[in-house]
Structure 1
């Protein structure tokens, strides 16, 4: 009897062992290289051995061997701490060459710790890293401990990794790994986000890992991952921890035959999850949201890991999953995916469009299906950047290979091309001559930023006194690249004050001490080139105290650089929420709105044809040291319709949440599209919250819709910024709400002009500072339109005689921003002024 029991227990043990072993990866990488750079001996981390620098020197071609180390006391504490004690320095272009025995995807992991050695301060190193087909890092400067992980598809027999110092600087590396990746890990296709179509071609892309997160669980080190990956917690990405609840049930996790494997994510990831903190409240209605920083101008692979470890029965957990504002998995039920089984590990892949912002937002929330308890679940997130059409993950150029075979191929190609060029020389010369003539003609139309006295000159620096050339009637500020380098401390990353779709914005100081903002674009970006030209064309036409001034530009060395006046207090958005600035008073906010309205009114009326901004938002309203508002960022601007036209037909562009719905529906652009966007800004100023916030209950997500509901109920005071409670006069708030409401009319024809908006905001300020006496229209709900004087020549009045309105006529193209608009307005609203 005892023998039977013993056999039974042995059988159960064997079955358990087989089941357990089936959960773990059997993947054995064909290629596995690990190097502890600069180390005189091998280093063991977990079950991996990192070769000493001397043993790995056969992989490296470098003109000079420079090895450095640091004090043990300065090494950061982590599982990779031993790698950070030493480093290899590259004073010239150097290449690692690894023999690849099996083609396919390979991890490239680069370990950096910028310590200070006796002869080298690694914090000052600036360099690029590339493979023959991909630029991995461009002008990289390590400022802290970093691990850069890439996945590249190797089709040839060798993988070359080249380190190229920038200028007179040097490169360094603490550790390096090249490891084969299981073929199924990264498929060729995924679901595209907005529109939801099938994306193919992943195999041709290089990937960079930007985030790998264990949602609701602890850190998972590489020692507990079958592919030596590290998973961090979601704490730093969570938007509101109070909305999130964490669960753990690793023993429930199962890896189905047609689902995820241990190579996709370990049990420690699938066995923990973030869920809604709904506490079984059947009325709970909110999303749990995380935001992940990314680089603009790239597409991203977003992998979402799921395992239902919370349900006790099938078909009880339905939820929605959002990437940014797209519901990518509506009414998602994990049990249905696996025939009613629970706790099955799985993942879903999505590819975004090329992003014009620096973050990806992921949210989970309740389904709209009735009679289902509101809850949602997410176990893990991976976000990987996809290389662009140039094969770059950095935006930089790919340095040419040092391979002699490739040089030979290049020489052969060069000879062939030379022969062809010789044969076709006459034709090519004629075509190029015509093309250059046309380009010169086009350039003469573009480079005319600042018009004054008929002289064109470049800006001087310690490198150049500037040059002066004739330029008709234009004063052309073309700034030498060396002067901009000097002004920005060679584009010091610590001087970055903003990142936009066009590029990074640096604080700069010119040789005369003038502070400037330097916007550096990507020369290879077609979108960037269009924005570059548009900014110069637009800002060269206008000079107004409520528009950010263009000081100069640079187009040397394929650079696209714009130089603006420096705005000390940054964006209006940063003063409203999210940045910790002191709360602004209602008067300050009104004055900022009035200044921005003046700038937009000038755009719409100050030239022969209206200029439509197309991207009006609080982030594009900048504040100087006195909090005076100036409208900025004209990269999307468009000239308005001709006199005999009502609109401009154009592709829809703008920022989500601010976009005119009529423009979106009909793709017909007018000045009233700017008015709609400005109406959203007005509510943003009043409520001090983002225009789109998926972390809020559903009816509150869209600020414009939410605020309009309260405005129409006459209860706008219920949703204003808490710091303004009791500080706004009732009439001032009422008129402000009416103005914003009219701006947000569904149809452009029902919206006021920016001139009307400007006058009404002046009225709002008047009402706030002192209630007007004996004004029959004080309680009017239709001041917009009544307070819209015909403006022609402001300086014509003078002696106080004649009709009151006529005293304030002015040219619509004049800059009236220096005039006291309150005084003008007070004359217009009094009965004798009408």
Structure 2
């Protein structure tokens, strides 16, 4: 076995030796069209011959034959011979290829923009389509690229159309239409959001976005029996020091039940990236790769595994994540064929992407004893799937919910009582089987009401009767009858919906005593369910604080999960920053809101027997009452902190994209400092009044935290503040606020301040903003710094016990209140968890 990337030379030599053996036994495509567009002679690339364009002209229908040739020799990687010439399309043009064997085919389009005469190909804009699919929409290319698509061709002919956009033109350097092995794309992919299986994959059009060789060098088309190219993973790794490369080509086995050499070549399965956990049996972190993707589309992710690390079977167990979703728990590569080094792959289909970033992680298991912490990945393929319109380009259409239509049809069809009973019995059987399967996977999302009798519930069940806050004895006063909730919301009138969150819809309502309420009704199809419902009740029934949400009541009758909060007149902090048209806030108002939220979080971290970590701090979870007083909301993901003799809690990563603590994501070790990081993002969000992730902006501006930190380090934070605040923030107040946010966003939790420290510094920033120097006619001086307490000017000088006493003195009043608090959790939830 070899380690380190220094083995690249040796690997390359091995690849050249392996290539002849691989190609000799490779797949022979039935359909194999290779065209060098614009060339008058055949072009050989590796062992493949691309025919001259004039020889292939009978495939093309075009209004004008225009060839282009580069003025200088093109040297662009392995495909440079194909980039010397191009064909120009001034009008709609079509290639028509006869298909000898229907099935999946690769369509590879080669582009290299050069200038030829009056044609500057970097300015070309065009569409590429087939009768059933749109591959490229308004496509424009600035550098060499190969766009690879695969589509299931069912007709005798495949027609590929090039359509210039407006007054522009289209171009193409080379073209492949090649048969794909029948078993390459199978219908056994899993989904994880929600959990289940994806059906219909063989009929999806796919675009290869990434094909990555973990732990090894580039694998060229010459070393892949299907002509694929695999790129190294080092440019996608987050935290190179957390991973090491390994190789062991001789160990790789292709056996029944696993992969074949058509799945991926030996050069991929024989290398891997693994955790850098050597000599540290307590290692607990993830190895993570990050990829840019197009929002609005689903993606097929194919993970390639081959245990070339272990000495014995059942030595290696690890977890696999897509974003923060645990998609494979306790994966044991040796279990595929009861042997080591057996090549295999696993397919997963994502939900339609909201973010333009996709992260893949591997990490150690925390649930199996006596297993050395390690994890490996040999290869990864990421393929975009066509949307409901058959398109792989352009914006995706809104996702429609057709389940209601199916339910209507089912109801009409099942009109005979006996049939209904049979169907219900079958559904019940499937429900139980799926629930057991998901429970084994460790991430069940099944909807299980707290009371399952379906009628008036009188108990939370034995699961909650062990003296917890959700037991019958402690929470009877919180239970509100379903009939009262139904009446308060006017029978859940849809016109009364004031928000939609991850748990379900939120309705405005009025109880029979006149109290305005917000009613959060759980959706059975939601990604959230019993765990979040239980946690919300447990947390909110224990805490009383003026800056935290408190529960008015809950209802778990009739298989419902409903949470009731007092109505908050001014909604979320987020709605007052951007996107909703709500009135803008002054700088003083924003500081006071941040201070209130910090007080609430500080109480969570210090005011209870064990620290409570919120885990989902964001502007959408900071609510404002009629006086714009801030309260922290939505405790569905909250978790109690570590024991006294521990530093962290090891747990699966959850939170909202853009606010998530990178150290928590990498190491799966949750501390109060994870909340501090998220709050730092909120501070910059308050200052700049823009989303934390905005894919529509230029690349350097997409991530708010990164963008703001760059400007802060330049000392020019005033250049990016909310336009409504320009000229209204005193420089020293802005400086202190920026310093506070910067410290919150430190890469490592140990370098971040506590919430108590953050609170002191925000109070100080407010004092700097409000400071008045006698005799200053314009009331705009910041020279009162010297008159303020010097100890709060530095995080390290804060006495946490003093800050806790000072800022939590008001909690006595909170605890003595008779009524519950005045907010509801998260009216607007646009970020995914």
TM range, normalised to the smaller chain? 0.5 to 0.7
From 357, 360, 373, the equivalent of 2:355 is: 357
Aligned partner of 1:62 in structure 2 is: 62
Post-superposition CA distance 1:314-353 (Å, at most 9, x none): 11111111111111111111112222x1000000000000
For 1:375 and 1:353, the matched residues in 2 are separated by: 28
**Paired position in structure 2 for 1:103:** 102
* Deviation of the 1:279 alpha carbon: 1.2
1:86-121 CA-partner distances (Å, limit 9, x unpaired): 000000010100000111000000000011112211
**CA–CA distance in 2 between the matches of 1:777 and 1:253?**
60
Which residue of 1 is the match for residue 314 of structure 2? 315
Structure 1 residue aligned with 2:668, among 698, 704, 708? 698
The question of 1:133 aligning with 2:132 is answered: yes
Query: Are residue 733 (structure 1) and residue 757 (structure 2) matched?
Result: yes
Q: Distance in 2 between matches of 1:727 and 1:258?
A: 49
C-alpha deviation, 1:691, in angstroms:
3.2
CA distance in 1, matches of 2:303, 2:324: 16
**8 A contact 1:732–1:765 mirrored in 2:** no
Deviations 1:362-409 (A, max 9, x none): 0111111221111110000000000000000013699xxxxxxxxxxx
Q: How many residues align?
A: 497
**Are the aligned partners of 1:220 and 1:232 in contact in 2 as well (CA < 8 Å)?**
yes
Greater RCO, 1 or 2 (C-alpha within 8 Å, sep 6+): 2
Match of 2:766 among 750, 762, 765: 762
Q: Evaluate the alpha carbon distance shift between residue 777 and residue 367 of structure 1 in structure 2; reply closer, same or farther with a 3 A threshold.
A: closer
Cα distance, 1:33–1:724 mapped onto 2, change above 3 Å = closer
Give 1:79 shift. Answer: 1.1
Instruction: Return the offset for 1:27.
Output: 2.2
* Pairing 1:346–2:344 present: yes
Change (3 A) 1:91 1:717: closer
Q: How does 1:445-524 map to 2 (within 5 A)?
A: none
The answer for the alignment partner of 1:209 in structure 2 is 208
- Tell whether 2:77 aligns with 1:39: no
**1: CA distance between counterparts of 2:808 and 2:376?**
49
Matched, 1:781 2:807: yes
Asked if the contact 1:23/1:255 (under 8 Å) is kept, the reply is no
CA shift in 2, pair 1:661/1:89, >3 Å: closer
How far, CA to CA, are the matches of 1:207 and 1:630 in structure 2?
Answer: 50
State the SS of the aligned residue for 2:78: coil
Contact 1:33 1:178 in 2 (8 A): yes
Cα pair distance change 1:241/1:61, threshold 3 Å: same
Query: For residues 700 and 663 of structure 1, what CA distance do their matches in structure 2 show?
Result: 21
**TM-score of the two chains, using structure 2 as the length reference:** 0.53
**Compared CA separation, residues 728 and 365, structure 1 to 2 (3 A):** closer
Distance 1:267 1:706, change over 3 A: farther
Partner of 1:249: 248
Structure-2 change in CA distance of 1:660 and 1:68 (3 Å): closer
Task: Measure the CA separation in 2 of the matches of 1:49 and 1:728.
Answer: 60
Q: 1:629 to 1:225 in 2, by over 3 A?
A: farther
Instruction: Find the aligned partners of 2:630 and 2:750 in 1 and give their Cα distance.
Output: 35
CA distance in 1, matches of 2:282, 2:666: 14
Report the Cα distance in structure 1 between the residues aligned to 2:144 and 2:571, rounded to whole angstroms: 46
1:771 aligns with 2:771: no
Gaps of 5+ in 2: 1-16, 398-496, 499-566, 581-585, 591-613, 624-628, 640-657, 681-739, 772-783, 793-801, 815-833
Which stretch of structure 1 is more off in the superposition, 326-335 or 102-111? 326-335
Deviations 1:42-96 (A, max 9, x none): 00011111011101111000000010011334x1331100000000000001010
1:204 to partner: Cα distance: 2.4
Matched-pair contact (CA < 8 Å) for 1:319–1:332: yes
The separation in 2 between residues aligned to 1:358 and 1:82, in whole angstroms, is 34
Query: Which residue does the alignment assign to 1:624?
Result: none
Aligned mates of 2:296, 2:266 — CA distance in 1 = 34
Q: Indicate whether 1:394 and 2:393 are aligned.
A: yes
> Residue 736 and residue 170 in structure 1: after superposition, are their counterparts in 2 closer, same or farther (change >3 A)?
farther
Could you say which residue in structure 1 is the equivalent of 2:374? 375
In structure 1, distance between residues paired with 2:277 and 2:748: 31
Q: How does 1:621-636 map to 2 (within 5 A)?
A: none
Cα separation, 2, equivalents of 1:21 and 1:724:
48
Q: Which residue of 2 aligns with 1:286?
A: 285
